[in-house]
A and B are shown apart, each in its own frame.
Chain A
Amino acid sequence: MSRPAETLDLTGVPCPANAARALLVIEGLPAGAFLRISLDDGEPIQNVPPALEEQGHVVVDKVRIGTGWQVLVKKGEEA
């Protein structure tokens, strides 16, 4: 990784606005770039990563941090 991943805090953002906001940020990044997203437990962690994968992005990592999650996403080549 040549540069640190961008970060996006989506805690407290309802579904599926959280997925939509993540996609809007990812679309502004160059292909192959990374985005680190903070998500709430429950629906958000269940639903957001698959929604990003469905649009061609790669969920590289999911870590539990406190009561929430941190997800590392790599922007897909064709997305």
Chain B
Amino acid sequence: MEIYLDNAATTQPATAVLLAMSECSRRCYGNPASWHRLGVEAAKVVERSRQTLAEALGAEPDEIVFTSGGTESNNLAVKGTAWAAGRRGKHIVISAVEHPSVTAAALSLEKLGVRVSLVGVDSEGLVDPAAVARVLTSATILVSVMHANHEIGALEPVQEIGRLCRGRGILFHCDACQSFTKEPLDVAKVPVDLLSVNAHKLHGPKGIGALYVRKGTALAPLFDGGGQEGGRRSGTLNTPAIAGFAAAIEAVDLRAASVMRRLRDRLWDSLRRAVPGIRLNGPRKARLCNNLNVMLPETESKPLLRKLSAAGIYASAGAACSSAKPEPSPVLLAIGLSPQETVRSLRLSLSRWTTQAQVDAAARAIVRLAGGS
């Protein structure tokens, strides 16, 4: 039995997604910017998908910009707003647990004279909106705090943070790549100006994402070129991936979140009972439904992951993109773990296809290999 518990890194594409993509590649191969019939057919695919995405977010179709994924959406949001603000853009606020595509994008602006404030988190990984409020100044142009953390699943208080930004005329960006379609987030209700999503966390294709840009938000493009996406994102649109993104959204089952939550809790209960001294990293309550992150009492996670992999069980130590880097996870450090503790941490992330038999088998294997009872 193969047990895939690395769904926070990426998910297996749904059959409906693969069908939509191959159908689109075969039949709608025209450039969606061309005026002939094939171009217009491709543009129809794009616009239908844009509507699907807009509806899922509570946005208007014109507020959706397709990108190559979460990394680009985050870069576009952070750099695009700072560049558009020009000399007015002197200060940006981000949390200490953002995805590197937000953190590094923000820090890259320091050489342009932008000051970046990192707001810390509590021991569960949660940002205190009051701490955000304290660092805001008249020079602040943007606050970026994610919806759900990629490593520990912390659900940040984006409603409150958005509200205090709105009250001060500061733009609020939210990276919702992990939570999109798992946790409700309606831009008509949450005061967010920019919101990043991608497809490959919800059984869609890799290399496609979108940035929601609230009407009237000034945004400079990352790329110069043909001026697609209303000038906000040049480059020929990836029509098949866009079709796959919409198919992934349409295939979402809203009841799946509660099933994932129940199985995740069951996995944690099994591990907690059998491994004395195991600890939960991240929040107990305000937590994304499919995320579990634990700190083992003695075992280092890297060798354990290799053994699990040999047994057909796939998980990870933390964020997928930091796997190649030996540095300890900044997220785990931010919640107060020592570097030694970070290397004993294990992230287990479920999908709507994860079964009870799978979580039970995974728990047994982890207990056996990590030397529990």
- Whether the Cβ atoms of B62 and A51 lie closer than 8 Å is no
- Whether the Cβ atoms of B43 and A16 lie closer than 8 Å is yes
Q: How far is the CA of A23 from the CA of B40 in the complex (A)?
A: 9
B48 within 8 A of A: yes
Q: Indicate which residue in A12, A13, A16 contacts B40 across the interface (CB closer than 8 Å).
A: A16
A5 within 8 A of B: no
Instruction: Please indicate the chain A residues that have their CB under 8 angstroms from the CB of B142 in the complex.
Output: none
- Whether the Cβ atoms of B40 and A19 lie closer than 8 Å is yes
- Interface contacts (Cβ under 8 Å), in number, total 42
Number of interface residues of A (CB under 8 A): 15
- Whether the Cβ atoms of A54 and B37 lie closer than 8 Å is yes
Interface size for chain B: under 10, 10 to 19, 20 to 34, or 35 or more residues? Answer: 10 to 19
B35 within 8 A of A: yes
B129 within 8 A of A: no
A31 within 8 A of B: no
Instruction: Please indicate the chain A residues that have their CB under 8 angstroms from the CB of B50 in the complex.
Output: 17
Within residues 269 to 303 of chain B, which ones have a CB less than 8 A from any CB in chain A?
none
Residue of A nearest to B39 (CB): A16
Nearest 3 interchain pairs by C-beta = A20-B43, A20-B47, A20-B44
What are 30 sample pairs from A and B whose C-beta atoms fall under 8 A apart?
A12-B62, A13-B62, A14-B230, A15-B33, A16-B32, A16-B33, A16-B34, A16-B35, A16-B39, A16-B40, A17-B43, A17-B46, A17-B47, A19-B35, A19-B40, A20-B32, A20-B43, A20-B46, A20-B47, A20-B48, A21-B47, A23-B40, A24-B44, A24-B47, A24-B48, A47-B35, A51-B35, A54-B37, A54-B40, A55-B40
B residues contacting A by CB (< 8 A) are 32-35, 37, 39-40, 43-44, 46-48, 50-51, 61-62, 230
